[in-house]
A and B are shown apart, each in its own frame.
Chain A
């Protein structure tokens, strides 16, 4: 059976709901970002990011050694370079799993960049984004029955402030 995404969100389509009538399990995706980077030259220009349906973040990465859990929205999220996916899950069961597929880019591979993944405040893992395009899949167990809002944060970590990562979209599935 082909998997059909509940949502596919990107810069130009930041809110998508998989709602298809009450009683049916579904996910909604809300995409937010903090610490975006634009410049007048491609691919960082607003025009290029808009045309490519891409968000690029950078200029205030955390130290890659900092893999502590999030302790403050202001210090660890809002003032950093972060993609954030809020997932509204409704009518789901504890035995469901959610699959999230992230499409990343690294527009300047000369500077190593790391994507740190958090579910809620909990650090999950850090993945180098070394290639011009990279896919990362997160399989997340449902926290329980009913309705919930999940928050998944992807934060840029790098040694250099010139490191950047881009996001071309996130798809969410119920398994």
Chain B
């Protein structure tokens, strides 16, 4: 059986503001967020590097 719910932007923003209040008290979450961001940046760098390699990089003479 399938179920569906629509979450409006107001509720999303409310929830995010609530989370910000929690994070002020919660150093563990700050560390987790830092980890997410680092993974994200590494992934983008890797993806971009792979694209450069597959298309060739005249500047580097691949």
Residues of A within 8 A of B (CB): 15, 17, 19-22, 28, 30, 69-73, 86, 88, 94, 117-122, 124-125, 127, 131, 134-144, 148-151
> With contacts A30-B36, A72-B22 known, is A17 near B7, CB below 8 A?
no
Do B17 and A149 have beta carbons less than 8 Å apart?
Answer: no
In the complex, chain B residues 17-57 whose Cβ is within 8 Å of any chain A Cβ: 17-19, 21-22, 26, 28-29, 33, 36, 39-40, 43-44, 47-48, 51
Chain B contact residues: helix, strand, loop or mixed: helix
- What are 7 A-B contacts with C-beta separation under 8 Å? A17-B43, A69-B15, A119-B15, A124-B5, A139-B7, A144-B13, A149-B36
Chain A contact residues: helix, strand, loop or mixed: strand
B55 shortest CB reach to chain A, Å = 11
Which partner residue on chain B sits nearest A28 by CB separation?
B40
Q: How large is the interface on B (under 10, 10 to 19, 20 to 34, 35 or more residues)?
A: 20 to 34
Given A73-B29, A150-B12: 7 more A-B contacts, CB < 8 Å: A73-B26, A88-B40, A118-B15, A121-B18, A121-B22, A125-B5, A136-B2
- What separation, in Å, do the CA atoms of A119 and B5 have in the docked complex? 12
Partner of A120 from B16, B43, B51 at Cβ < 8 Å: B16
Which partner residue on chain A sits nearest B12 by CB separation?
A143
Q: Is B6 interfacial (CB-CB < 8 Å)? A: yes
Chain A residue contacts of B1, Cβ below 8 A: 131, 134-135
- What separation, in Å, do the CA atoms of A83 and B2 have in the docked complex? 19
